[in-house]
Amino acid sequence: MPSLKAISIIDFPHKTEQQKVKQGAKKLFAPSFPQVERMMSAFDNTEIETRNFCKPLDYYTATHSFQEQNNDYIEVTLQYAIEAIEKCLASSDTSKDEITDIIFVSTTGLATPSMDALILNKMKLNQNINRTPIFGLGCAGGVAGFAKANILATANPKAAVLLVAAELCSLTFLKNDFSKSNFIGSSLFSDGVAACLITGNEKLQEGKNSIEFIDSQSKLYYDSLDVMGWDFTDDGFKVLFSRNIPDIISANIRQDIISFLQKHQLSLDDIQNFIFHPGGTKVLTAYEEALQVEGDFLKNTRQVMKDNGNMSSATVLYVLERFVSTGFDDGYGLMISMGPGFSSEMVLLQMKNN
């Protein structure tokens, strides 16, 4: 089975306290948004303490065109994606020349040639690397990308697949959008870049902790296209998400997980490590109420949310990195994230401390 060989994450130099973001948002929205005082509690309800921002706070109070924001997305993403890749390769003692495939996941900026091409050119990676850019999966992209990287490594036992998830959600902020979705987004979303190296059977390392891929599952929920996504406007990306997201999770997630695990003669009781994308506090509550797992099984998920905010597709990889860096239990792991569609992505893992 393919396995995770290394993972790295980025802490941006402009990480900002949530209370400072709250005060900045209040000052920005107050002149044109009469309900601002009543809605400020949304920042406290997130339980977020710091936000992982790629730009200083005063950047977001200035006016930027869509072109300016997207150019910043390309510049910042390229810089920090390369930093994450170099950290990942160094920690695994892997040469850049060993990389056979690169998957790049993002839904917060546009680039053609795609960002993976820009990365390959800047790092002077092997010109024959197989490239797969993935756009549009939103928060589900981290698990989906992880699954696809492992599927490639399953097909090619000699593979060394590089997965990069880069989301600069803060650069999609629309200063003059006074919708409730934009306001809630300003209290929740932030920026993250993560890199993973996944290798095939022939590159497994004996004697080290292992996280091996077993299976994955994708699901699209019919007639839910308006639950989450973007409206593409003259000013840029306008965030859309429904208040019904926790209800959809509550109604579906338990049975979805049970049916997925049953394919491997497993049940929820067999899962020791829950590697979930947080979404927000209401989403976490929906998971807890639906799954009824004993103990604080979402501890690492909550901590990543508390320390960074919601970084869209990259968030679940920050949660995975926390399991790797702080320790995990021997046994099975389950990765889950939800995204536009409305959709869910799952990955089943075998996790061993050697």
Residues noted as catalytic? 139
Question: Exposure pattern of 45-63 as b/e (b: 16+ CB <10 Å)?
Answer: ebebebbbbbbebebbeee
Pairing of strands 343-352, 331-339: antiparallel
Q: Which amino acid is at 73?
A: Y
Closest CA to 344 of 224, 238, 262, 241: 224
Which two tokens mark 213? 């891929």
Which burial class, exposed, middle or buried, applies to 178 when counting CB atoms under 10 A from its CB (0-12, 13-18, 19+)?
middle
Residues 6+ apart with CB under 8 A from 191: 12, 52, 53, 54, 167, 168, 169, 170, 171, 311
Name the helix (H) or strand (E) containing 238.
Answer: strand 236-241
- Is residue 114 within 8 A of residue 166, CB to CB? The reply is no
Q: Which residue carries 């891929």 as its tokens?
A: 213
CA 311, CA 314: separation in Å to the nearest integer? 6
- End-to-end CA distance of the chain: give it in Å, rounded: 16
CB 211 within 8 A of CB 272: no
Hey, which residues does 220 pair with through a beta bridge?
343
